[in-house]
Amino acid sequence: MNALRSFLYMFARLLGDANAVKRGRVGRRIGRRVAGKATGRGLGRLFR
């Protein structure tokens, strides 16, 4: 079950990347991904 879930999330991310390339918004998507990772790490450290 976990492998299927991981695959689906990866596939969704790839589709989002392809859509961003198609629409010319790659930089915006990368910036949001980096900001989201930083926020997640910060919250993870806060609630240990």
For 8-17, the pLDDT digits (tens) are 999 999 999 9
The angle that helices 26-46 and 2-23 make with each other, rounded to 10 degrees, is 140
Q: What gap in Å lies between CA 32 and CA 2, rounded to an integer? A: 26
Exposure b/e, 24-33, CB count within 10 A at least 16 = b: eeeeeeeeee
pTM over 0.75: no
Whether 19 shows a pLDDT value over 90: the answer reads yes
Work out the mean pLDDT of the chain and round it to a whole number: 95
State residue 30's pLDDT score: 93
Give the separation between CA 7 and CA 21, rounded to whole angstroms: 21
Task: For residue 15, give the H/E element and its range.
Answer: helix 2-23
Going by pLDDT thresholds of 50, 70 and 90, the confidence category of residue 7 is very high
Confidence of residue 48 (pLDDT cuts 50, 70, 90): confident
